[in-house]
Structure 1
Amino acid sequence: MAYDRIKIFEQAKEMIVKHKLFFVDDIVAFLPCANSTFYDFFPANSEELDELKELLNQNRTTLKISMRSKWYTSNAPALQMALMKLIATPEELRKLSMQFIESENTNKNEISIKPIDWTKSDV
């Protein structure tokens, strides 16, 4: 069966928006063509595939923002800690962590090895 490349591309964009998809493989599941046909039409680094990936990234970003907003207003300590770990500075993360071990090597002992003086009687 011959597929219309432009029609498949438009359907792919529509499915991404309609079903809020996040992955390229999800797009193919909603299209009337096989994986191989999809990747033949839109090879890696093609402008069309990049445009589809940009739409997927917009969906991901929208979801991330929504989730962080819910975590911020949540009363669940686990969600608040998860958000704090995402937005904290490295110093704040160290203070939050219960397993953080800071190791600073300040040992300045120098090892000195003296040569052995051999005499004829030692041999």
Structure 2
Amino acid sequence: MAYNKKDLLSKAKEAIEKHKLFFVEDVVAFLPCAKPTFYEYFPAESNELNELKELLEKNRVELKVSMRSKWYKSNSPALQMALMKLISTPEELKKLAMQYQESENNHKVNISLKDAIKFSDNSES
């Protein structure tokens, strides 16, 4: 079956906006063509596919901003901790972590908070 490329592109854009889609696979599911046909009309790195990917990325960014805003306003410690981990510097992350890994001379050291406290207590004596 022959498809009109402009119609497919228009339907794809409409689906992205109407259904707040995030992935190309989801866009294809809303179109009246099979996945191979879609990629035949819109090959990788084509201007049209890149345009669709930009719309999908816009949806992802809007959702992430919205979620982070809700997490910031939330009284849930789990959500606030998740946000803190997203926005923290590496040093802050290390302080927040119950367990972290450091690489020293290409040796991985796994230190838990409990072990660090025990080591700290023993070194003070």
Query: Shorter-chain TM-score: which interval?
Result: 0.7 to 0.9
* Unmatched runs of 5 consecutive residues or more in structure 1: 106-123
CA deviations on 1:17-52 (whole Å, 9 max, x unpaired) are: 000000000001101111111000000000000000
In the alignment of these two chains, the number of paired residues is: 105
Distance 2:69 2:80 in 1: 11
- 3-state DSSP of counterpart to 1:100: strand
Whether 1:15 and 2:4 are equivalent positions in the alignment is no
Q: Provide the TM-score with structure 1 as the length reference.
A: 0.81
Q: Provide the TM-score with structure 2 as the length reference.
A: 0.80
Distance 2:38 2:49 in 1: 10
Shift of 1:100: 2.4
Distance 2:98 2:12 in 1: 46
* Unmatched runs of 5 consecutive residues or more in structure 2: 106-125
Q: What does residue 51 of structure 1 align with?
A: 51
Q: Percent identity?
A: 70
Q: Point out the structure with max Rg over C-alpha.
A: 1
Q: What letter corresponds to residue 7 of structure 1 in structure 2?
A: D
- Quote the RMSD (CA, aligned, Å): 1.3
Aligned counterparts, 1:21-60, within 5 A = 21-60=21-60
Distance 2:9 2:62 in 1: 22
Q: What letter corresponds to residue 88 of structure 1 in structure 2?
A: S
Whether 1:97 and 2:97 are equivalent positions in the alignment is yes
Q: What letter corresponds to residue 56 of structure 1 in structure 2?
A: L
Q: Give structure 1 regions of 4+ aligned residues with deviation exceeding 6 angstroms.
A: none
